[in-house]
Chains A and B, each alone.
Chain A
Amino acid sequence: MKRVGITFLALGAVWAAAMASAATTVTLNVVQIFGTIDPAKVTDYTGYMAAVNLYDGLVTVDKDGAIQPLLASSWEASPDATTYTFHLRPNATFHNGAPVTADDVVYSVKRLLAIDQGPSYLFKGVLGPDSVTASDAHTVVFHLQKVFSPFLATVPLIFVVDSKTVQANVKDGDWGQAYVADHDVGSGPYMLESWTRGSEMRLKRFDNYALGWGKDPIDNLRFVVTNDEATVRSLAASGELTMTSEFQANETYTALAKMSRFRVVEQPTGTAFYLKMNTQVAPTDDLHVRKAIACATDYATIRTTIYPGDALAGPLPAVFKSDYLDTLKEPSFDLNCAKDELAKSAYAGKGPIPLTFTYVAGASFEEEIGLLMKSNLEKVGFKVSLDPEPWNRITEIASKVSTTPNVTEVFFGATYASPDSMFFTQYDSAASGTWSSMEWLNNPDVDKMIADARATTDPAQQAAIYKKLQQTIVDLQPDAFLLVQKVRHAMDKCLTGYNYVPVQSFDYNFHNYSWTCGN
């Protein structure tokens, strides 16, 4: 009987699809390869683009950074903020039709902690393997080991996997890593259709998605991997491309804006662009050298000509309104200041100071910034070697102090909607060894302030700590603070619903988009 029902449902879907004539396909380019789609291993922007479409968390984040229900329709916290109870939506199913239960959530958390990659570092000392329990089929309880004030903001990163399918595919106690690496075991709005590593990924719409579908949904997604500007423009000209990445050169946006089909959408973001300086190796281990580099940075040219953005005064973008220290001075370009600082450093007077400078190979605006920096830095007494590297190589060299370059151009956006994400992930010594912490700051004062902010639940007290922390970091100058990114996409005028979301690439959740030109 049930099977008949499903058959009818399927027939209905086919009929509906036929009535709606051609399915809508959105083709967009991404500039980096999808490293992994395993939600327990995803760390970067591109990985989350896939994860957020394939998987659902208990909750998610909207454009204002507020927590919204997803698999959990409601939740409550205990007064001491150590116990969180989530109530699951009863109708949610995985792509294979199995219902999403509390056991799946418990398994997903255990798996995340056991694999110990991706966002698991956030839960060190907060969640243990037995911290999460299922009190009934649709109720999950998280018992935190200590107060962790940004906890709710991190929950959207816990994606729920189908525990039965994963368990059936475990090999040698690998928690199904080999299987989940290229199979989708989620309940998200889209399903994996095909994936050619390094060139493209196709997803198709999951009809029975728990949140349902509005009018004119996007049926198929096609991510094309290329950072070549000419390819993007020719894909756009041929009518194939629906939406560009947000990392194109100025010239590409201008060219696409001239095609009548496209509009350029621009929104402020919580993503900052840094020159991350390795504070543990010569010569950037010297504070004066770092200050000299910051002074020799031509912020205005970078922000207006090379890569449009807003000014950034410290480690935290201004979108975190209540925690933002607004007394910080905007950095300015001053070669005399750079010379003075360099003269004070331990490396002064020994001839040109060698400096390694790395950026993502093939990203033309990053190369332009590199050339601009080299030109100015060599005027004040550095000898700069520009080393463009592919992104996967950068993530690799970032894992060791000795291989981390003196200076690296890195974008970092909040992984979860809390200033803690900006501070902990980039500056805490417990989070070092990744591309987001190439400063290797390892400063006990900084670590302590981050921990203190995590342990308080009083927003005012938290804001006070964060403000002091911003000043401390600015004084240590582990970065030159280039700009706050303005997200820009050239997209087809028919594609609507885009909104910047201040968490990773959650703005790529295509459940929120629609195709408004009809068929």
Chain B
Amino acid sequence: MSDLALSPSATPDESSRHRAWRRGWYRFRRNPAAVAGLVLVVLVVVAALGAPWLAPSPESAGTFVNFGERHQPPSLHHLFGTDNVGRDVFSRVLYGYRVSLLLVVFVLGLSVPFGVLLGLLAGYYGGWIETVIMRITDIFLAIPALVMALAITAALSPSLMNGMIAISLLWWNWHTRLIYTTVHALRHEEYVEAAKIAGASDAHILFREILPNCISVISVKVTLDAGFVILIGAGLSFLGLGAQPPTPDLGTMVASGANYLPEDWWESVLPGLAILFAILGFNLLGDGLRDLLDVEVS
């Protein structure tokens, strides 16, 4: 976290770094939306990690059916009611967050390093490397992500893994574009020139001088992305091309619950709100982070 507050050209001493961090935190705290976002994200993460302990009916996440209790409305016993085969919707939502976060970690874990690397190369070297990388990026940017993901998962067989691969294949380009722009601006900075004159290798300049100065941009982008990845993953599952039953996936839950609207509203509305919750959290946090880091970066 403290790295984020690094001023560009110098290695600051401990106290100024600490001061910058505190100033940032102060700003962050004064932004109620950002704090709300942080709280939401923490709640989602806790729900996902703690699902086996927090869920009143952990078996509902697996191959459990109880036709005697189908379509029960929300009650103390079933906070979010039960679904069409009698599973506890609340427990499935908690486990659903696991699937959503797994998706986020997988997709961003694959696509961000890849996208960032390409962005660094294109921005730093320029010339034909830039042309090749950026034109390919432009092509990918021109394809609507959801449509492409649908095509890919339909061509492979629909599953959570294939859904994750499909989304990853479409996510790197945004990072490439962003980092390219940033690096393009940074590459003639004095500290880069200085490093060059000092005889530093390209690898050193790219990863030790330029990359740290992109971290703030990346972290804001990643936070904002997390919400969108959840949304697109839920979209795929809603259309039946993501996680397959009985995986407790929020999008799948909304889709199958929608069959029983409006009478048994809790089966689709509550998982839908759970998706909203997570996306809202990541977006507010991302916005807050951007406000915070913009100040420090500039």
Out of A230, A367, A375, A387, which one reaches B64, CB within 8 Å? A375
Interface residues of A in 369-399 (CB under 8 A from B): 370-372, 374-375, 378, 384, 386-388
Q: Is the CB of B245 within 8 A of A378?
A: no
CA distance A392 to B71 in the complex (A): 31
For the complex, would chain A's binding face be called helix, strand, loop or mixed by DSSP majority? helix
Q: Is the CB of A229 within 8 A of B65?
A: no
Of chain A, the residue at the smallest CB distance from B68 is A305
With A364-B84, A368-B84, A388-B245 already in contact, the answer to whether A228 and B259 are too (CB < 8 A) is yes
Closest to B59 in A: A375
**Does the CB pair B67–A306 fall under 8 Å?**
yes
Cβ-defined contact, B246 with A305, below 8 A: no
B246 to chain A, nearest CB (A): 6
A249 CA / B71 CA spacing, docked (Å): 13
Which residues 208-255 of A sit at the B interface, judged by CB distance below 8 A? 228-230, 233, 249, 251, 255
CA distance A233 to B263 in the complex (A): 11
Q: Is the CB of A386 within 8 A of B256?
A: no
Q: How far is the CA of A367 from the CA of B259 in the complex (A)?
A: 12
Cα(A301)–Cα(B67), bound, Å: 8
Q: Is the CB of A371 within 8 A of B71?
A: no
CB-CB nearest in chain B for A383: B63
Determine the chain A residues whose CB is within 8 A of the CB of B70 once the complex forms.
305
Q: B157 — which chain A residues lie within 8 A by C-beta?
A: 387
**B84 contacts A374, C-beta separation under 8 Å:** no
Chain B positions within 8 Å of A378 at CB level: 63
Q: CA–CA, A362 to B67, complex, Å? A: 19
Shortest Cβ distance from A249 into B: residue:
B259
Instruction: Write out the residue numbers on chain B whose beta carbons fall within 8 Å of the beta carbon of A306.
Output: 67
| Contacting residue for B85 out of A228, A249, A362, A368, CB 8 A | A368
Contacts of A388 in B (CB 8 A): 240, 244-245
CB A385 to nearest CB in B, in angstroms, measures: 8
Q: Smallest distance from the beta carbon of B53 to chain A beta carbons, Å?
A: 23
Say whether A371 contacts B246, CB under 8 Å: yes
Nearest residue (CB) in B for A376 is B65
* A370 nearest in chain B by CB position: B245
- Name the residue on B nearest A252 (C-beta): B259
Alpha-carbon distance between A387 and B246 when the two chains are bound, in angstroms = 11
Cα distance A301–B84 in the bound complex, in angstroms? 13
Q: How far is the CB of A466 from chain B (nearest CB, A)?
A: 35
A227 CB to nearest B CB, Å? 9
Q: Mark A125-141, 1 if CB is under 8 A from B, else 0.
A: 00000000000000000
Contact of B259 among A364, A371, A384 (CB under 8 A): A364
| Closest partner residue, chain B, to A254 (CB atom) | B263
B65-A372 in contact (CB<8A): yes
Interface string of A277-306 (1 = CB under 8 A from B): 000000000000000000000000100011
Query: Which B residues touch A374, using CB under 8 A?
Result: 63, 246
A362 to B240, CA, bound (A): 8
Question: Contact between B67 and A372 (Cβ–Cβ < 8 Å)?
Answer: yes
Please tell me if the beta carbons of B259 and A386 are within 8 angstroms of each other in the complex.
Answer: no
Flag whether A361 is at the interface (Cβ < 8 A).
yes
B114 within 8 A of A: no
Cα-based distance from A305 to B68 in the complex (angstroms): 9
Mark contacts of B243-264 with chain A using CB atoms, 8 A cut-off: 1 yes-contact digit, 0 otherwise: 0111000000000101111011
Q: How far is the CA of A372 from the CA of B67 in the complex (A)?
A: 9
* CB-contacts of A338-373 with B (<8 A): 361-362, 364, 367-368, 370-372
- Establish whether residues B65 and A371, one from each chain, have CB atoms under 8 Å apart when the complex forms: yes
Q: What residue of chain B has the Cβ atom nearest to residue A306's Cβ?
A: B67
Interface centre among B64, B240, B256, B259 (most CB of A within 10 A): B259
CB-based contact A364/B244 at 8 Å: no
B260: chain A residues within 8 A (beta carbon):
229-230, 249, 251
* Residues of chain B contacted by A249 (CB below 8 angstroms): 84, 259-260
Q: Which residues of B contact A375 (CB under 8 A)?
A: 63-65
**Whole-angstrom CA separation of A255 from B263 in the bound complex:** 8
Which of A230, A306, A371, A378 has the most chain B CB atoms closer than 10 A to its own CB? A371
Residues of A within 8 A of B65 (CB): 368, 371-372, 375
The docked-state distance in angstroms from the alpha carbon of A378 to that of B157 is 23
B240 close to A361 (CB less than 8 A): yes
CB B163 to nearest CB in A, in angstroms, measures 14
Pairs of residues from A and B, 9 with the lowest C-beta to C-beta distance, nearest first: A229-B259, A375-B65, A375-B63, A230-B261, A305-B67, A364-B259, A374-B63, A372-B65, A371-B85
Contacts beyond the supplied A229-B260, A233-B261: 5 A-B pairs with Cβ under 8 Å: A305-B67, A371-B245, A372-B65, A372-B85, A388-B244
| CB-defined A-B contacts under 8 Å, sample of 10 | A249-B260, A251-B264, A305-B67, A364-B256, A367-B256, A371-B246, A372-B65, A374-B63, A387-B244, A388-B245
